[in-house]
Chains A and B, each alone.
Chain A
Amino acid sequence: MNAPDFLEFKNVSRHFGSIRAVDQVSLSIRKGEFFSLLGPSGCGKTTLLRILAGFERPDTGCVILSGQDITQLPPNRRKVNTIFQSYALFPHLTVRDNIAFGLRIEKRPQREIDHEVERMLELIQMKAEAGKFPDTISGGQKQRVAIARALIKKPQVLLLDEPLAALDLKLRQRMLIELDLIHDEVGITFLYVTHDQGEAMSLSDRIAVMNSGIIEQVGTPAEIYEAPRSSFVAAFIGDTNFFEGRVAELIGNEYSRLVIDGFPDVTVFNDKQLAVNNLIYLSVRPEKFHISRERQEKSPRHNVVPGRVEEVIYQGSLTRYWVRVQEYRIAVTQQHSRFLLDEKPITWDENVWVSWHADDGFMLERYSQSDEQLVTLPE
């Protein structure tokens, strides 16, 4: 399926003094897509969203929505609606009047307004609370009113700025499911801002990972997880292990031999066609490792290194290990496929062999400046 691009950012920049909040961002979002902007605090997600909503003017670049350049339109003339992080419900209006606000502004006939509001109250299951004021309803309910108030305008794009951040964990998980259902039901394009990779992963059709004003990578959740294109993305999405090294030899078209300090030879899939002597990071996710007491047969596509278990955390369906290999402390997680009690489990201080398949490692080019950007997430 190749739907035409529906919403486009073209070379959009917005600087505040010396801060480059948004830097040369180009993005294409398809109609009906659930698209997430994911990145750490202060990376410019909100600014990009506000540029689309019309509350910020970009310094350069333009925004195109269904074929129309909307860069210069004021917020009230754009067919996009926002769900604000603080909900921003009108405290002097009841739930019903909050939801009706957008249609009243349009001066729609009263009967039509009543009908639409009724439909929205049903969608968010808040008929009983229609007469209450925002101060007297719960956080999750405010959230739903904010959604209804925006959806009733039938926007072309619904913008959500960390809509779940203010909710507690339980409610967050429930709203996550509700958001997904609502998206399926209304079929509107969602642009969702979050710094929570779990939220982005579970909801999105595609994700753009942002870092200090630039887009690092755009892709489906699986692409971003399995094939991160920068060390930042690799570390920000899920846990990973980084090893510093360089390319020593090309093996055919597809594989390379790496030299990593203190390691025996390591073979890795070379999809990026990096040349010999390129400085690289090797990234391997914890669940891609396998550990065992006996040394595995070293096949050409398998890497095996000896290590010593330093810590074991049993977590039911999986176990986490921290294994010392030379100067590296490698995080390893193992799913339990067999009944655990049948065999003697590996415990700390044991010598083990850590192995992984060449296809499960990822090479990321190492530049001197990106060294500083390398983020290693704490356990």
Chain B
Amino acid sequence: MKRSLVPYCVTAAILVFFYLPILVLVVNSFNTSRFGGSWEGFSLVWYSRLLNHREIWHALTNSLVIAVSSSIVSVLLGTTAALALHRYATRLQKAHYMLIYTPLIMPEILMGISMLLFFIAAGMQLGLFTIFLAHVTFCISFVAMVVLGRLQDFDFSIIEAAQDLGANWWQATWKVLVPLLMPGLVAGGLLAFTLSIDDFVITFFVAGPGSTTLPIRIYSMIKHGSPPLINALSTILLAVTFAAVYISQHLLEDKT
């Protein structure tokens, strides 16, 4: 009996479809040619140019500052929201759940526009701070959903046991709840970080002069014609992303 080749072909086609553009990009980042149409020899020239590109470093710093701060804040708020959603089942909580859930499915452009209008109405200066606020807003929802998943099989009598043994609210939270929720908090934080660092649409609306983030900088560089630099930058980002995914998966596996 001859085995069907169809599954293999489909798999191969999907892999090609997904990864061929990325592969081309990676290869081109080492290409001496400026336009990447043909291979003109291996070089690291684009990487060294990248190192000396002040604007890119500036944008990267902005992106990192926003991603780190907004993921920390959204882990705090998102976890609080998840705890509230999980513990209290009132009718108000249904509305709360809807509010938390909506940003996950709402078109980004809508969020971007509404936040822009809000910030302007509030008379706020557009800049890093407005970007930070916008990112926290959509990250909270994702963190809350991840933590809520962890809480589903969490035995709250453990918290009561801690209180029973003399722990006040603060001690019960830090000595029992947080250590036990840690894998969920880390996963939620990583998710928030990745969402924040590559967000384009919402950031584009609420960014102001001097607050350019990496995705926006990349976009304008493509428009002004320096693709080889972008290729190098993307390759680095790709490597970092793979590393992060690999590490976080290992962390989660160890815990469970």
**Chain A residues close to B by CB (< 8 Å):** 53-55, 74-76, 81-82, 84, 86, 88-92, 101-102, 105-106, 149-150, 153
Contacts and interface: CB of A to CB of B under 8 A. Distances in A.
Contacts of A54: 163
Given A89-B158, A89-B161, 9 more contacts: A74-B163, A74-B168, A75-B160, A82-B160, A84-B157, A92-B176, A101-B175, A105-B175, A106-B166
B160 A88 contact: yes
B68 interface: no
Interface in B169-184: 171, 175-176, 179-180
B158 A105 contact: no
Contact of B155 (A53, A88, A102): A88
Smallest CB-CB A-B distances: 5 pairs: A102-B165, A88-B161, A88-B157, A75-B163, A105-B166
Contacts of A91: 158, 180
Contacts of B171: 105
B251 to A, nearest CB: 15
Interface in B146-199: 155, 157-158, 160-168, 171, 175-176, 179-180
Contact of B161 (A90, A92, A106): A90
Interface string B204-226: 00000000000000000000000
29 contacts: A53-B160, A53-B164, A55-B160, A74-B168, A75-B164, A76-B163, A76-B165, A76-B167, A81-B164, A84-B161, A88-B157, A88-B158, A89-B161, A90-B158, A90-B161, A90-B176, A92-B179, A101-B162, A101-B165, A101-B175, A102-B165, A102-B166, A105-B166, A105-B167, A149-B165, A150-B164, A150-B165, A153-B165, A153-B166
Point out which of A89, A92, A150, A153 has the most chain B C-beta atoms below 10 A from its C-beta: A92
A75 B164 CA distance: 6
A84 B155 CA distance: 12
Contacts of A74: 163, 168
Residue of B161, B162, B163, B176 with most chain A CB atoms under a 10 A cut-off: B161
Contacts of A75: 160, 163-164
Nearest to A81: B164
Which residue among A75, A89, A92, A102 has the maximum number of chain B CB atoms within 10 Å of its CB? A75
Given A90-B176, A91-B180, A92-B180, A84 B160 contact: yes
Contacts of B167: 76, 101, 105
A75 B167 CA distance: 9
Contacts of A153: 165-166
A150 B166 CA distance: 10
A81 B180 CA distance: 22
B88 to A, nearest CB: 15
A90 B158 CA distance: 7
Contacts of A53: 160, 164
A149 B161 CA distance: 10
Contacts of A102: 165-166
Nearest to B255: A92
Contact of A82 (B155, B158, B161, B175): B161
Contacts of B157: 84, 86, 88
Contacts of B180: 91-92
A76 B160 contact: no
Interface string B90-124: 00000000000000000000000000000000000
A150 B161 CA distance: 9
Interface in B6-51: none
Nearest to B176: A90
A171 to B, nearest CB: 21
A28 B62 CA distance: 67
A193 B228 CA distance: 74
Contacts of A150: 164-165
Nearest to B171: A105
B7 to A, nearest CB: 40
Contacts of B179: 92
A76 B166 contact: yes
B197 to A, nearest CB: 31
A198 B231 CA distance: 77
Nearest to A84: B157
Contacts of A101: 162, 165, 167, 175
B230 to A, nearest CB: 45
A367 B191 CA distance: 66
A55 B163 CA distance: 9
B154 to A, nearest CB: 10
Contacts of B160: 53, 55, 75, 82, 84, 88
B253 to A, nearest CB: 16
A82 B164 contact: yes
A105 B168 CA distance: 9
A89 B161 CA distance: 8
A141 B165 CA distance: 19
